[in-house]
Structure 1
């Protein structure tokens, strides 16, 4: 894609993540058009569905790329042959083909007793992340405030990687053999043969991982150990202090929400077996102008010229469309047409990201039988002065 198209694509995904999936949009008051009763217009119905989504405590999302090799070839043939970013090479198509057989499955659960709306409120946990790392109790509170999540990368109905985070503990499982084969590395047998040369604290979880089993890491306990060992004392403060103010991020989100609710056009479309369909059309230049100052505030004054230039390059009539699907007044899916971001869109070709939403997904649970990664035992195998001066070297 061209630079401007990339900016638009990012804006669209940000729009969906901020105003749609994350449930930030919508209010429990009257519709955005001032229509009074919820559901009286297409926009009211969409906003009401977003509001209902914020009231959930658990949900599932399945993301996939919808296209075919023939469509990818058709799209590639239509793009300018001047070496631009929109040109899709034979190698690109081969990579796309692998992705077409896959999907990303994400389940999210809010903290106990909370909803997504509660979880998404920006809380001031302190701007200094180093102090957060050195205070396990505070770190634990911050982690729990993020809720629980499970992510699975699936290819041809077989899971490649599974990741779960819950109550400050991370769990990971991977099909190492399949990943090694796909990446051209061959077999994992060579790596397995080396395990006997490693100390048990490393070899045991490594073997479990190579054999396709679950391994786990307790982040809070690990922080306690790192603090006790003095490892975190060696970290340079400036390297771990975020430059983004969460309160400014919240202001940006609020501005984006208000602009979209005011300016987006929503029309009914055929949802097929996905439920009631609605097309949300957003005037990108108008939205970009509305959030421009907040965007600069988030990323710093040094980005002002670039952000203003990007906004100025967007055509007055350029829009981004997202199709949303509702069942029983709840979000059930969405479809983002990627062709609209290409330099030369192709009307009769499909290249889209689809997201199926399960509002009744079961809460995320910790997997059984995970092999624990013992950070303290691993650190005991490392010379005591290894981390000395680490901060000065970064």
Structure 2
């Protein structure tokens, strides 16, 4: 059973046609040890999906700011948001895109008002949100950046530390953390996006938030090169020589502990990861395939650089699994545990200026 002293986390239920509602209900059925959670979504959707999954869940409706009771397994507090049209598992409905965004807004507002100590997000479907006319939407990370009015955010994924305790080939049972210099960009645009200004902002945020949210006193960050073999001395590209190396040198002068730029194909090996608190990859598919191979389903997505705690799952909506009972809540459980850990350090000082308001 949860207790009143635990942090309260707003848990958005994600794309209603996907596995988000299933995962939230499975989590409620099994119980949460690390935090109190309140679902943000449509109670009718959750009731229908619980019936479909054969789960006996008592839904306890409340509003942000009202007292959220301690609960036992099988109980789930809910902050209601109404679907725009009925949802069917596996069938996307563009009209419900506004519903998905409203659940995010409710969770963000609750965190900023102090009604919740963090937010955890189930997966949404970017395509259907774009199809609904929300032009420029690229994902949770960028939406949170704009909603919170900050200049830059950093996407970082981290594996469950317990997973690596089971993997002696990985360094000292530590969590593997991989942050991204760029996120949802076509590959042809990545090189132009790797600028000294962007790398400086990203690395300052990564260093500051490893201290703020994870209690790392002196973060050691390993930085990937952009090109194969980190440019091979300029023969395979000059971004390392002209942009990355000078930026890292300047940041070392500020006191950051940075290794690199290093070839990504050898950096992600146990010997090079030993003693490293996080890796900065230059683009999405440079770093995340390694992390997901190491711990898919037992990792979580964390947004750094925000004035609030936000974590998410490491996977998508899995429309084909929605309503089947086969969706695994492992990643959501890791996301909740990480958010609770981060919320416990919430009062630590913020050492990076990132507001654009």
Compute the TM-score of the two structures, normalised by the length of structure 1.
0.23
Compute the TM-score of the two structures, normalised by the length of structure 2.
0.25
Higher strand share: 1
Larger Rg: 1
